[in-house]
Amino acid sequence: MAEIGREEAKKRIEELRKLIHYHNYLYYVLDAPEISDAEYDALVRELRRLEELYPEFITPDSPTQRVGGQPAEGFAEVRHPKPMLSLQDAFNDEEMWAWFRRISKLLPEGVKPEDLEFTVEPKIDGLTVVLTYENGVYVKGATRGDGFVGEDVTANLKTIKAVPLRIPVVPDGEPPKRIVVRGEAYMPISAFEEFNRRQAELGQRTFANPRNAAAGSIRQLDPSITAQRPLSIFTYAIVELEGGKPIRTQWEALEYLKSLGFPVNPENRLAKSFEEVLALSKELMKKRDALDYEVDGVVVKINDLAVQEALGVVGNAPRGAIAYKFPGREATTKLLDIIINVGRTGSLNPVAILEPVHVGGVIVKQAALHNEEDIHRKDIRIGDTVIVRRAGEVIPQVVGPVKELRTGQERIFYMPKNCPVCGEPVVKPENEVDYYCVNAACPAQLVRRIEYWASKGAMDIEGLGEKVAELLVKEGLVKDVADLYYLKPQQLLRLEGFAEKKVSNLLKAIEASKQRPFWRVLTGLGIRYVGEIVAQTLAKHYLSIDRLMAATEEELMQIEGIGPRIAKSVVDFFSRPRHREIIEKLRRAGVRLAEEEVVKVEEGPKPLAGLTFVITGTLSVPREEFAALIERYGGKVADAVTRKTNYLIVGEAPGATKYNRARELGIPMITEADVRRMIEEGVK
């Protein structure tokens, strides 16, 4: 790093502090990081370097002088018996040797550097927790918080099966009178992948990586949600011990924790020399891809606890330990092209086609690019040399371009104006970043649309699942959902696996679906933002498909629970000639497209009566649909947070205005799941 002048350094130090404070808040308080760990580490390293050059600018509130972020709202505070310090980082052997030379000069009298032993422990990428036991019984669990005060998550940690509720092993006959243990809660990679898959199937929020999943799970206000998450834990330090075995070294501490029955990482190693520390670190780095948990480095500690204590603390980190961070799972390669995949719901998803490159132990040829807005924000261009990362994510990500290597031949990417599969015009809804193909007959979406049409929440056609839908589309028998009602026995009998009985049962189920209520037809059409509740609301006000097709956006928005987004989506859907053709085919087939009576939304308990909610962030369903659910059970949904607001429902990526206003007024913040639980408990 080039030397800079005093005034320039002062200005940059102030900028870095603001940036780091902001990203600490996102990471530790909101669990919504915007930058990678490597990018964050670079900011901290730059700040530490400048403060070393200009120590007169160090202030008590600098990120280098404190432990971490503030405890989040919604949990009681827990003051730790000792500060939960963080660690200084090293990124290569040279920096590790520099640390060793520094501590060698500060060792207590009589202690020689060559006599030092060290523990080498995997640095688990999870959430730090502190467990307290009294007379062998688990009494409290807390997050690290700001290092001095954490959040009380006792009930949440109790749901993790790896956390002993009572110390299971007592080698000396009696458990310690009091023991406070520090550990790392995490989600195994295999469990994370399965958990994310289930979340996606249910239309619930998925997580970027196991660390975020673990942190988000432990910091749930409802412990029953945490109980459903596949979490585990490793313990690695004794913070306080009363009445137990005397502990002289870190290795003894690990062995004692293991002897008491606490989960301790089996990859921990004892090094007899500093050269062995580096060798063991490299061994673990080679095998990290085979581990079922994320490891982003090793923690190296002087084994002798008395020597650790004598070395003291500098800033916010103990001198006697250091984190040797592994290189990020990144590589650079050429971005050859950007193609478009059309999702099953019509979303147009840009995909990077890459020159094959090894990243994180696999060969990567494609990577995700999110959306056009993100591509332009990062200034990624076709032909760029790009950085590709595979660190916890199942799908590799393009981090950004290496602009210094540009030749001038690179091309700016723009989303196509027409669907690359069916050729129909694509749309970009207002205030959204994604583009969509809204052609109900688009081949890329057809299998999913048929499967959805036949689902229990729509037309409930037994025997028509994903495999059958795929076969019908593949054989060219079905080009839209209406074609289902024109299938002939002889067509189906020619298909593999279709005998007479199976054909008969399927055709009977299709025939029976013609008499499903009108609102089920509306659900099955797959109109964006129109789920079961909105479909019932529309059917209640428009007794036939013809009346609904004639409705304007203004008329639709007069209906309670129908906002501008739903109204526009409905009008856009029925304005397309292809969709009207499908409606006419359904009409000719005898599918019920009208109701003789107004659809009655089920009457019953109103557990949300008298409560006013405000929603911020993205939910698992369209906001208008969730608002309709709240109103169905007696609640009211307002646009702005006021003193009359009872709850703020916080989704993913919440808006700062509503969030800060709710904090200012002391309005309780809850999740979508909390609301559903309130409804379920009230209905019961």
List pLDDT tens digits, range 133-149: 998 888 999 998 878 88
Domain that holds residue 472: 443-589
Check whether residue 16 and residue 81 sit in a common domain: no
CB atoms within 10 A of CB 432: 12
Residue 602 in any domain: the answer is: no
Q: Which residue has the tokens 């023991």?
A: 179
Check whether residue 81 and residue 50 sit in a common domain: no
Query: What letter would DSSP give residue 618?
Result: B
Tell me, yes or no, if 123 is annotated catalytic: yes
Residue 599 in any domain: the answer is: no
The 10s digit of each residue's pLDDT in 221-279 is 777 778 788 898 999 999 999 987 889 999 999 999 988 888 899 999 999 999 999 99
How many Cα neighbours within 13 Å face the side chain of 624? 22
Check whether residue 154 and residue 192 sit in a common domain: yes
The CATH number for 312's domain is 3.30.470.30
Given this model, what pLDDT does residue 408 score? 92
- DSSP string of 359-403, one letter each residue: ETTEEEEEEE---HHHHHHHT-EET-EEEEE-SS-SS-EEEEE-G
Check whether residue 319 and residue 346 sit in a common domain: no
Cβ-based burial of 36 (10 A; exposed 0-12, middle 13-18, buried ≥19): middle
Given this model, what pLDDT does residue 393 score? 42
Cα angle 628, 629, 633 (rounded to 5 degrees) comes to 110
Check whether residue 619 and residue 668 sit in a common domain: yes
Of the residues 11, 82, 112, 123, only one is catalytic, namely 123
Residue 594 in any domain: the answer is: no
At 354, list the tokens.
């890459």
Residue 374 in any domain: the answer is: yes
Check whether residue 221 and residue 92 sit in a common domain: yes
Residue 506 in any domain: the answer is: yes
Residue 205 in any domain: the answer is: yes
Q: Is 72 helix (H, G, I), strand (E, B) or coil?
A: coil
Check whether residue 187 and residue 268 sit in a common domain: yes
Residue 427 in any domain: the answer is: no
Given this model, what pLDDT does residue 363 score? 82
**Contact assessment for residue 239 and residue 181, using Cβ atoms and an 8 Å cutoff:** yes
Q: Which amino acid is at 516?
A: R
Pick out the chain residues at pLDDT < 50. 1, 28-31, 66-72, 392-394, 597-602, 684
